Amino acid sequence: MPAYFDHNATTPLHPAAREAWLRASEKHWHNPSSLYREAGFTSQAMESARERLGDLLGVEPERIVFTSGATESNNTLFAGLAKCLPPDACVAISAIEHPSVREAARAWLGRARVIEIPVDAEGVVQPEVLKRVLVEQQPALVSLMAANNESGVLQPWPELLKLCREHGTRFHSDVAQWVGKLDAMALGTCDYLTGSGHKFGGPKGIGFLVLADEAEAFPLLHGGPQENSRRAGTENYPAIEAMVTALEAITPRLGEVERVQTTLRDAFAEQMKRDFPGLRVISEGAPRLWNTVLLVMPQHSNLKWLTRLSRVGFAISTGSACSSGKEGSSVVVQALGADWEELRRVVRVSGGWDTTEADWAALAEAFAEVSRGLDAPQE
């Protein structure tokens, strides 16, 4: 799919995941909670998938709860915290969290109990800023996404996690954009993780929540003993199998993919800067995901760019899919202090594992072609 540059919104199903889904659906379609032999085989296969995911994330399989995706996982976490924490306890989240963290935290805990940790001019949470929050506000939990969905900016989460540990504060990371793009093995050191299978070649409607320990029960959905009474509802084993298979398929390639794709993405950004004087790349000076570039175009609204590019066969985005359709919706660019006029010109381009040099060149050419059309005198 050469013209697809919206991998941060979702990814096409990985061929290995498709095969795994079909195989699991044919062979292990029984309800894993039922008591006959075939159901037992499904349950065993599902537990084996949990172990394999645990190996990839560096966590004990017992800590993993399968959910419908990162949105449900984030809501489960904050709904659970709302029940467990003392009524005056607060949580701290970064200013650039995905809405499924920010809005879930506010909805479940109440706005007054959610502190925002500001980011620097590149969109990064600085350790001294977090330290001040930890000392002055003493949050019960800090939630910082490992990789941002809009700019691709990476947080120095191991250092920030260490600081939280020193202050006895629990640490959650929304890793929906990290997993499948960068090695995930070290993530298991975080207390809580949330992610979605469809961001790395798995099917939609499947994800995970990693809890701090196996005994923790954070049910959002009630009505059944599945997932150790931590998430009611029949488990979707074929989707679980497909999600884990997708991650197993891409993980060994990640080092090479990062090396190749970073070069291609940067060459695209340089070409765009040459073609569009005044164009800005958000968080250009910070470590970023290898596939993402968030651009402030020098002119024309992002919806104009998006629709015209779509007409010539290229899929890009105006920011996160959850807020797309609204011009000027970039949470990240807003947090960096941009004005509304600038926000209307933000476009996000996110390539994939197999995007080629020719694909990137074609996209740059398509921007140039669309620009000529937009600049032409209108009749």
Q: Going edge to edge, which strands form the sheet with 346-350?
A: 280-281, 292-296, 346-350
Q: Which of 283, 320, 329, 355 binds ligand PMP (CB under 6 A)?
A: 320
Neighbours of 158 (CB within 10 A): 12
330 binds ligand PMP (CB under 6 A): no
Instruction: Give helix then strand counts, H and E, for the chain.
Output: 13, 10
Residue 289 has which token pair? 């995901």
Binding mask 352-371 for ligand PMP (x = CB under 6 A): --------------------
- Please confirm, yes or no, whether 322 is among the known catalytic residues: yes
Q: Which is nearer to ligand PMP, 39 or 95 (CB)?
A: 95
Among 6, 174, 191, 248, the residue binding ligand PMP under the rule CB under 6 A is 174
Among 95, 279, 312, 322, binds ligand PMP (CB under 6 A): 322
Cα–Cα distances in angstroms (integers) from residue 151 to residues 95, 277, 330, 340, in the given order? 13, 20, 9, 17
Cα 303 from Cα 301, distance rounded (Å): 5
Site string for ligand PMP, 132-151 (x = CB under 6 A): -------------x---x--
Q: Does 220 bind ligand PMP (CB under 6 A)?
A: no
Contacts 24+ apart (CB under 8 A), 39-43: 42/237
Q: Are 132 and 263 in contact (CB under 8 A)?
A: no
Q: Which of residues 184-203 bind ligand PMP (CB under 6 A)?
A: 196, 198
Please, is 109 exposed, middle or buried when counting C-beta atoms within 10 Å of its C-beta (0-12, 13-18, 19+)?
buried
* Nearest distance from C-beta of residue 323 to ligand PMP, angstroms: 9
Q: Which stretch binds ligand PMP (CB under 6 A): 32-40, 68-76, 123-131, 241-249?
A: 68-76
> Which listed range, 63-71, 80-88, 262-270, 367-375, lies at the site for ligand PMP (CB under 6 A)?
63-71
- State the Cα–Cα distance between residues 87 and 9, nearest whole angstrom: 35
Q: How far is the CB of 196 from ligand PMP (least distance, A)?
A: 3
Supply φ then ψ for residue 198, to 5 degrees: -75, -5
Number of residues forming the site for ligand PMP (CB under 6 A): 15
Instruction: Give the catalytic positions in this structure.
Output: 322
Q: Which residues bind ligand PMP (CB under 6 A)?
A: 69-71, 98, 100, 145, 149, 174, 176-177, 196, 198, 320-322
